[in-house]
Copies of this chain bind each other. A is one copy, B any other.
Amino acid sequence: MKNYIKHDEWNIIEEGFNPALNKVSESIFSIGNGRMGQRANFEERYGGESLQGSYVAGVYYPDKTRVGWWKNGYPEYFAKVLNAPSWIGIDVFVDGEPLDLHRLEILRFRRQLCMRDGYLSRSFTARFEDGREVAVEATRFCSLVDDECGALSYRISARNFEGRFVVIPYLDGGVRNMDSNYDETFWEYVAASTAPNRSVLTMRTKKTDFWVTTGMHYELLADEGRIQCSEQDVRRDDYIGKSVTFDLAAGQSIAVRKYAVVLSSENHPKADMEARASAMLDRVVAKGFDRMMVEQSEAWGQKWEESDIRIRGDIAAQQAIRFNIFQLHQTYSGEDERLNIGPKGFTGEKYGGATYWDTEAYCLPFYLATAPPAVAKNLLLYRYRHLPKAIENARKLGFDGGAALFPMVTMNGEECHNEWEITFEEIHRNGAIAFAIYNYVRYTGDDEYLADYGLEVLIGIARFWAQRVNWSEYRQRYVILGVTGPNEYENNVNNNWYTNTMAVWCLTYALEALTAVRHAWPAKYEAVITRTAFDERHETGTWETIVEKMYYPVDGERGIFLQQDGFLDKELVPAESLPAEQRPLNQHWSWDRILRSCYIKQADVLQGIYLLEDRFDLETIRRNVDFYEPLTVHESSLSPCVHAILAAKLGDEERAYQFYLRTARLDLDDYNNDTEDGLHITSMAGTWMSIVEGFAGMRVRDGRLHFSPMLPVKWQSYEFSIRFRGTVLTVKVSRSGVLLAHSGSDPLTVFVFGHPYRVPREASVELAGGQRI
């Protein structure tokens, strides 16, 4: 755990430069707009440790899979988000020497991410060996308004000398992925063009043939008067730019404005990309940097208006939740149903930038509550579009008759992960994808989604489960053998309670959805039945039998659900007794030792209890939490939020707060020592859930919002807004009570601690029964 980020309500601030933390900061200070993302690499070259990262949404590469021992059914490739030609680069030479903070003495350094207005700034003063001092002030952003554009301002000053400066704003197509399996390059040159102040470079990916055109246009602004400059084209290999030479007197400075556009062939005809890039450059250059900054600030203002959480009395917590919300918005805007949310967003290469079950399990609730319904719907449609590939995927694994297994990791619907214990066995992901449909319909009330899209997916998933179970003669029950549950510190176990429970939940929900759609939209129902060749009597009969006769492992004595068969054979030693130097376990123990231990990577039984909590009484929940929590090591970023929510539900404010902090500042404080690889974007949604579903206890039941708020002792108040069925509701929880306000024209009925309140446009809700908050 590190602690070098300054606490501030709206800003992420790094003061002073520590090269050892540079890659961590490069992740933390990342910027993005849902279409593109950029790690906080320096504009000028840096000879020290750095992970260069510039990403374009939807552009991936099917890197040849690296496998030790091949298994039937493994995919041939692992799709990877691509490190794309970067738009930020400016090479700087001072009297012929490169400006490189790795070589210079750094007198002053500050990096700041302004979350309110959505930009990154950096300033430093550096000294050459002979005493010449150069200062730089750089600001940049990925525009929310012009979402294929980025812009930066790079002001450079000669502090105490007169010298010759060469700045080369450039585009470089010769980029690589650090995680290339066979050290291949993924890009090939297509074309480049040049015009005064402007360079345009088109590269294509090998195999997938995505084209990306990156264009730049630079301007120089002197502080006062004119400075004589000469421009020269620079070109070597896939590096293209403009070399600009000028002299600065002591104290004089000049600003380079670099406008950039990044176009992908996913959104533009290849033949037009170069022309469109130029036209787009014309447009933003005409608009100008300052105007773009203003628009950026307004667009972010709008996002904050709808999704900010304001915490009083705890700056660290305030900063953290805003950072999480900020990064989520930077990653996914929900406007394009082809896109999704990689676990690292656009902040690193790890996990290939592909889609995991994280999206459904953790991110969906955030977007449901903080964005227009179309955004969440697009996340669902993404899977709907992949249904044929999910059916094909299941077929490769021996299933038939339209059974669908959605991939563990994917870019385009095809599976691209290759660990048998995950790829083939972590099948609970199918449950999360079904549950997301339920969650969406429950939250939005958009029942018709089922008829149009949802039911078809549910049928595919239900068919999978119906084939994946088998009848145990011995138990006279259906069992599910050989799975990996959410707790990936167990592999190939039998009857994972969570998986069995979710399988039956899926079958039940599919049966309900069939009935609901049949009644409400008979024509659409018939169309689905025909499309899926659904055998109503036989298939529903089978599903009902499985629902009725599923086996679930339990420990009757303790009154808990058992994570899997045989769990009680383990030595049950609380995680707190583990020596600190052995944590995290996955960096210190061999895999077999982890597997046979009792330690739980992330919520597993508790994940099931979280999702289906209304089935369980508080005492059951408490017994399970009391049993599993001490064994949980939270070595997945997705774990603490579920524990936070359950702790809050059980009224354990202290633990809820601890888990909240752990999830909220995971990256800012680099808890797991891996932030340098990129931010834990998907778990950031879990942080939001920890507050809204945890502290505020928000639930939707029967189309109504429910809250059971608590207030961490350290906080004076917290306040958040959510969208719910056409209105924006603001909830403020303080010691003195709960304040509800909403934007709708009609009064809204909201339940607080189980009591219904009719909320006019703004109202302070008295707590029934005198609950203390």
Give chain A's interface residues, CB within 8 Å of chain B: 65-69, 71-73, 182, 396-398, 418-420, 424-425, 470-475, 479, 481-482, 491-495, 565-566, 568-572, 586-593, 595-596
Which residues of B have CB within 8 Å of A475?
Answer: 569
- Give CA–CA (A183, B649) in the complex, Å: 57
Residues of B with C-beta under 8 A to A68: 65-68, 418-419
Q: Is the CB of A588 within 8 A of B470?
A: no
Do B590 and A396 touch across chains, with their CB atoms under 8 A apart? yes
Residues of chain B within 8 A of A588, CB atoms compared? 72
Smallest CB separation, A482 vs chain B (Å):
4
Bound CA span A593–B424, Å: 9
> A662 → chain B, closest Cβ, in Å?
24
Q: A67-B66, A481-B566, A492-B492 are in contact. Are A591 and B72 (CB under 8 A)?
A: yes
Are B420 and A470 in contact (CB-based, < 8 A)? no
Cβ A397 vs Cβ B592 within 8 A: yes
Which B residues lie within 8 Å of A494 (CB)?
566, 569
Contact across chains for A481 and B570 when beta carbons are under 8 A apart: yes
A482, B592: Cβ atoms under 8 Å? yes
Partner of A596, one of B71, B471, B481: B481
Write the chain B residue with the least CB distance to A595: B482
Neighbouring B residues of A593 by C-beta, 8 Å: 397-398, 424
| Closest Cβ neighbor of A470 among chain B residues | B571
A569 touches B479 (CB 8 A): yes
A591 engages B470 (CB within 8 Å): no
Docked CA distance A587–B71 (Å): 9
How long is the Cα–Cα vector from A492 to B492 in the complex, in angstroms? Answer: 7
Which residues of the partner chain B approach A182 to less than 8 Å between Cβ atoms? Answer: 182
Contact A420 B591 (CB under 8 A): yes
CB-CB under 8 A from A482, the residues of chain B are 592, 595-596
Bound Cα distance from A182 to B570, whole angstroms: 40
Most buried by B among A470, A472, A588, A592: A592
Q: Give the interface centre of A397, A492, A572 by most chain B CB atoms within 10 Å.
A: A492
In the complex, which of the residues B398, B470, B473, B589 contacts A589, with contact meaning CB atoms closer than 8 Å? B398
Query: A589 contacts which chain B residues (CB < 8 A)?
Result: 72, 398
Copies in the complex: 2
B492 touches A595 (CB 8 A): yes
Given contacts A68-B418, A491-B492, A492-B492, contact A471 B590 (CB under 8 A): no
**Are the CB atoms of B398 and A72 closer together than 8 Å?**
no
Residues in B with CB closer than 8 Å to A568 are 472-474
**Closest CB in chain B relative to A569 CB, distance in Å:** 4
A149 to chain B, nearest CB (A): 38
Which residues in B have their C-beta under 8 angstroms from that of A592? 397, 420, 424-425, 482, 492
7 residue pairs from A and B, CB less than 8 Å apart: A68-B419, A69-B419, A71-B590, A72-B586, A472-B569, A482-B592, A494-B569
- CB nearest neighbor in B for A69: B419
Q: Which single member of B424, B473, B566, B572 contacts A565 (CB below 8 Å)? A: B566
Q: How far is the CA of A565 from the CA of B493 in the complex (A)?
A: 11
Q: What residues of chain B lie closer than 8 Å to A596, measured between beta carbons?
A: 470, 481-482
Bound-complex Cα distance A589 to B566 (A): 27
For the complex of A and B, the 10 pairs showing the least CB-CB separation, nearest first, are A73-B590, A424-B592, A482-B596, A474-B568, A481-B596, A420-B591, A71-B591, A472-B569, A397-B590, A67-B68
CB pair A481 B398 closer than 8 Å? no
Contacts of A420 on B, CB cut-off 8 Å? 590-592
Q: Which residues of B contact A398 (CB under 8 A)?
A: 589-590, 593
Q: In the assembly, what is the distance between CA of A258 and CA of B565, in Å? A: 66
11 further interface pairs, Cβ-Cβ under 8 Å (given A69-B419, A72-B588, A424-B590): A67-B68, A72-B586, A72-B587, A72-B591, A398-B589, A470-B570, A473-B568, A479-B569, A491-B492, A494-B566, A494-B569
Q: How far is the CA of A588 from the CA of B396 in the complex (A)?
A: 10
Max chain B C-beta neighbours (<10 A), residue from A398, A566, A572, A595? A566
**How far is B451's CA from A750's CA once the two chains are assembled, in angstroms?**
82
A424 near B570 with CB under 8 A, answer no
Query: How long is the Cα–Cα vector from A593 to B493 in the complex, in angstroms?
Result: 13
Docked complex Cα distance between A66 and B64 (Å): 13
Bound CA span A588–B595, Å: 28
How distant is A64 from chain B, measured CB to nearest CB, in Å?
11
Distance between Cα atoms of A65 and B475 in the complex (Å): 43
- Measured in the bound complex, the distance between the Cα atoms of B452 and A143 in whole Å is 77
From residue A447, how far is it (CB to closest CB) to chain B in Å?
35
Q: A619–B591 Cα gap in the complex (Å)?
A: 40
- Chain B residues positioned under 8 Å from A479 (CB to CB): 569
The CA-CA distance from A391 to B725 in the complex, in Å, is: 65
Given the known inter-chain contacts A419-B68, A419-B69, please indicate yes or no for A473 contacting B572, CB distance below 8 A. Answer: yes
Distance, CA A565 to CA B567, complexed state (A): 12
Max chain B Cβ within 10 angstroms of own Cβ: one of A419, A495, A596: A596
- Of B474, B491, B571, B590, the contact of A569 (CB 8 Å cutoff): B474
Residues of chain B lying within 8 A (CB to CB) of residue A397: 590, 592-593
CB neighbours of A418 from chain B (8 A): 68
CA distance in complex: A420, B570 (Å): 20
**Considering only CB atoms, which chain B residue lies closest to A557 in the complex?**
B474
With both beta carbons as reference points, the residue of chain B lying nearest to A474 in the complex is identified as B568
Docked complex Cα distance between A591 and B423 (Å) = 10
Report A515 CB to chain B, min CB distance, Å: 31
B contact residues around A67 at 8 Å (CB): 66-68
Interface centre among A66, A471, A572, by most B CB within 10 Å? A66
**How far is the CB of A252 from the nearest CB of chain B, in Å?**
53
B481 touches A424 (CB 8 A): no
Q: How far is the CB of A75 from chain B (nearest CB, A)?
A: 11
Q: With a CB–CB cut-off of 8 A, which chain B residues contact A571?
A: 470-471
B481→A569 contact, CB < 8 A:
yes
Q: A245 CB to closest chain B CB, in angstroms?
A: 45
CA distance A33 to B182 in the complex (A): 39
A337 to chain B, nearest CB (A): 30
Q: How far is the CA of A590 from the CA of B396 in the complex (A)?
A: 8
| Residue among A418, A474, A588 with the highest chain B CB neighbour number at 10 A | A474
Q: Chain B contacts of A572 at CB under 8 A?
A: 473
Closest-CB distance, A156 to chain B (whole angstroms): 43
**B residues in contact with A595, CB < 8 Å:** 481-482, 492
A183: min CB distance to chain B, Å = 9
A592 → B minimal CB distance (Å): 4
Q: In the complex, A420 Cα to B484 Cα: how many Å?
A: 15
Residues of B within 8 A of A472 (CB): 568-570
- Count chain B CB atoms within 10 A of each CB in A65, A67, A68, A182 and give the residue with the most: A68
A481 contacts which chain B residues (CB < 8 A)? 566, 569-570, 595-596
**A494 vs B568: C-alpha distance when bound (angstroms):** 12
Measured CA separation A419–B592 after assembly (Å): 11
Determine if B566 and A424 form an interchain contact, defined as CB atoms under 8 angstroms apart: no
| Bound: A425/B418 CA distance, A | 20
A611 to B494, CA, bound (A): 30
> How far apart are the CA atoms of A491 and B66 in the complex, in Å?
21
